[in-house]
């Protein structure tokens, strides 16, 4: 019996769905394209037709993950007005994201990269999603007189490095719950806000 040839977008969607399950179950290092062939029922040639290697596949998945997190934050942001609350909400979301197995897989993947890897461009674009959001919130806080008048890039770097550092540190700790990861991130940002806020954050 001849297998029906799937439209390209449908095939990619199926591959991404099962690849996500595979990375979640096995991490980056132990996820194999052969196993993905079994899960999808597709040939290796078909997989490589849509994604040239495991790295490209993982980056596509992580890009989607980052975009979903960004959309979740923007939905929350519509309900909040205080710049401090917006930053704390971002801290909460990033903290809870530490519970995602994809973040654990990202740590494994990052160790495989060299300083000249083309993938660093993609990872920078993903990081820029958070950086731009942080910058906009800080600009709003300065305009409203809630944050000190400091160089915006310096402030943005400070907040971003606090959140990124909290995430990296959390991933080296014994496994915690999403609530616990979130609390660590939120408390870190609360401490930072005491240094840049003209009013005590709630």
Beta bridge partners of 197: 147
As its CATH architecture, domain 54-196 has Orthogonal Bundle (1.10)
pLDDT in tens, 2-28: 444 677 888 899 999 999 999 999 999
Return the closest-CA partner of residue 108 out of 21, 27, 168, 53: 27
Fold of 1-52: Arc Repressor Mutant, subunit A (1.10.10)
Note the pLDDT of residue 74.
Answer: 87
Kindly list the distances between the CA atom of residue 58 and the CA atoms of 8, 19, 53, 152, in Å, as whole numbers in the listed order.
18, 8, 9, 33
pTM of the full predicted structure? Answer: 0.82
* Average pLDDT score over the chain: 89
Question: Of 27-36, 50-59, 112-121, which range is least confident?
Answer: 112-121
| Other C-beta atoms lying within 10 Å of the C-beta of residue 76 | 15
For the chain, how far is it from start to end, CA to CA, in angstroms?
Answer: 65
Residue 152 predicted with pLDDT over 70? yes
pLDDT, tens digit, 9 for 90 and up, residues 154-202: 999 999 999 999 998 998 888 899 999 999 999 999 999 999 988 554 4
What pLDDT does 199 receive?
59
Q: What is the pLDDT of residue 93?
A: 94
Domain-wise residue ranges, the chain: 1-52, 54-196
Q: What is the pLDDT of residue 202?
A: 46
Cβ(147)–Cβ(155) under 8 Å? yes
Per DSSP, the three-state class of 148 is coil
Query: Which pLDDT does position 5 carry in this prediction?
Result: 66
* Closest of 167, 131, 166, 126 to residue 152, by C-alpha: 131
């Amino acid at each position: 019996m001849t297998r029906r040839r799937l439209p390209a977008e449908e095939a990619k969607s199926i591959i991404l769905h099962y690849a996500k399950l595979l990375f979640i179950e096995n991490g980056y290092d132990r996820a194999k394209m052969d196993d993905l062939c079994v899960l999808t029922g597709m040939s290796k040639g078909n997989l490589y037709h849509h994604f040239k290697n495991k790295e490209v596949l993982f980056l596509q998945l992580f890009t989607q993950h980052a975009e979903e997190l960004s959309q979740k934050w923007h939905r929350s942001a519509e309900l909040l007005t205080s710049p401090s609350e917006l930053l704390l909400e971002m801290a909460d979301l990033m903290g809870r994201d530490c519970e995602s197995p994809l973040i654990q897989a990202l740590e494994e993947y990052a160790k495989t990269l060299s300083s000249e890897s083309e993938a660093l461009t993609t990872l920078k674009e993903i990081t820029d999603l958070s950086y731009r959001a942080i910058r906009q919130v800080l600009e709003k806080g300065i305009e409203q007189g809630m944050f000190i008048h400091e160089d915006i890039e310096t402030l943005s770097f400070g907040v971003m490095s606090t959140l990124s550092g909290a995430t990296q540190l959390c991933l080296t700790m014994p496994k915690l719950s999403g609530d616990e990861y979130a609390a660590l991130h939120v408390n870190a940002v609360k401490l930072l806000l005491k240094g840049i806020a003209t009013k005590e954050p709630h």
